[in-house]
Amino acid sequence: MTGQPDPYEVLGVAQNASSEEIKKSFRRLAMEYHPDRNKDINAEARFKEINNAYEILSDQEKRARYDRYGHSASDGQGFAGFESMGGFGDIFDAFFRGSTTRRSGPQRGSDLETSITIDFEKAIFGTEEEINFQRIERCSDCRGNGQLNGEDRSTCKNCDGTGEIRRVQQSLFGQYVNVASCSSCDATGSIVTNPCTKCRGKGAERIDVNRTIKIPAGIEDGQQIRLAGEGSAGSHGGPAGNLYIQLQVQPHDLFNRIDQDLVYELPLNIAQASLGINIEVPTIDGESHELKLKSGTQHGEIHVIKGRGVPHLRGSGRGNLLVRTHIITPKKLSNDQKKLLNQLAESLGTPDIPDDNSIFGKIRDSFA
């Protein structure tokens, strides 16, 4: 044996690996250890091992000879390199196209986010609110070019106005041209020689903005409002970003919201529930609504008042007001009240046991 590494171990594949598995492993390792990407001092040696291993295992005849005789099958001739490597061109492209940076064109400005808290009623019926936020805008003095009084910028001498730096480099593949953005001018091709005093040559400034926004009726807690073009300014003539406003809605003392419906818990004592009652129920509109409850009203019943809920955010009409009865059992009773309840209990007698077809019977059967 010559002491050369096992190509299967180098590529991290099994001896019965398919050609596709070998190629996939080679591509991954070649990308990882390519000297132009990996600055480790051992990267080049490791890369050569990967190259040699793939040269053997990618050729069916060489692989068969290695499986039979080991490295002695090469007769000391070494390996040819990358010329015979089918499919290696896409790796080459990944190496160098990935490191190529072209001159910057128009860049969209960044999006901004802010939040606002509104009352429950305002979310139901809509409102207008004033918001304050900061954003980056083009400098008004230099009109965004960074030069004092908006004068023309000077041509970058480092890239001769191209915005790109081209360098011929040598690698294992031979010579190639690496194209990178010019760091002197930030790929614009021009530089600031007489900076604007307001923005100090940056061409942009952070400003405070006040806006009055319209909040639509029916909006929910956690929803967003998007204001197009109200974000930070773009660069090189690019469009501005957007402003996203996160809505937080305060809870209400009387109502809860379920989608487009409102829920109101109506407290009743046992006499009101037993005898029935006509009772005034509050609504989100500020008006009361008379609700007629029949005798024998049970705890948790839902009574629907149509059209007194939340307006539909997209479309017409409103949801409903759901009135849920909540029967309250008194915890403290006077002697007279106790006597009356005892008399009532005696007259009512013992409640009937539900039959087998009732819900309780079904629950019992499910555990049988």
Give per-residue pLDDT as tens, 243-288.
999 999 999 999 999 999 999 999 999 989 999 999 999 999 999 9
Residue with structure tokens 């005849």? 61
- Same topology between domain 7-98 and domain 107-140+203-251: no
Would you say residue 130 has pLDDT above 70? yes
Question: Are 112 and 135 within 8 A, CB to CB?
Answer: yes
Alpha helices in 248-301 (DSSP H): 270-275
> How do strand 302-305 and strand 164-171 relate by DSSP bridges?
unpaired
Task: Give the pLDDT of residue 354.
Answer: 58
- Supply 94's token pair: 């990944």
pLDDT at residue 81 is higher than 50: no
Instruction: Please report the pLDDT score of residue 71 as a whole number.
Output: 62
Q: How much is the average pLDDT of 220-242?
A: 89
Class of domain 255-334: mainly beta
192 CB contacts (<8 Å, ≥6 apart)?
A: 145, 146, 147, 153, 154, 201
Say if residue 2's pLDDT is above 60: no
Least confident of 85-99, 162-176, 187-201, 282-296: 85-99
Helix, strand, coil percentages in the chain from 3-state DSSP, rounded to 5: 25, 30, 45
Q: What is the pLDDT of residue 119?
A: 95
DSSP 40-93: -TTHHHHHHHHHHHHHHHTSHHHHHHHHHHGGGGGTT-----STT-TT-HHHHH
Segments making up each domain of the chain, as ranges: 7-98, 107-140+203-251, 255-334
Return the minimum-mean-pLDDT range out of 30-39, 319-328, 359-368: 359-368
Contacts of residue 343, Cβ cutoff 8 Å, sequence gap at least 6 = none
Please state, in angstroms and rounded to a whole number, the distance separating the CA atoms of residues 135 and 210. Answer: 11
The per-residue pLDDT of the chain, averaged, comes to 82
Q: Is the pLDDT of residue 92 over 70?
A: no
Question: pLDDT for 138-162, tens place per residue?
Answer: 888 888 888 888 788 888 988 888 8
- Could you tell me the CATH superfamily of domain 7-98? DnaJ domain (1.10.287.110)
CATH of domain 107-140+203-251: 2.60.260.20
Higher pLDDT, 49 or 78: 49
341 pLDDT higher than 80: yes
pLDDT of 89 over the 50 cut: no
CB 173 within 8 Å of CB 233: no
Amino acid making up residue 357:
N
pLDDT tier at 185, thresholds 50, 70, 90: confident
- pLDDT at position 208 is 92
- Residue 121's pLDDT band (cuts 50, 70, 90): very high
pLDDT computed for residue 280 by the predictor: 95
Place of tokens 């046991």: 353
**Residues 5/53, Cβ–Cβ less than 8 Å:** yes
CA nearest to 297, candidates 283, 279, 277, 282: 277
pLDDT(330) > 80: yes
Q: Determine the Cα–Cα distance for residues 160 and 187; give it in Å rounded to an integer.
A: 11
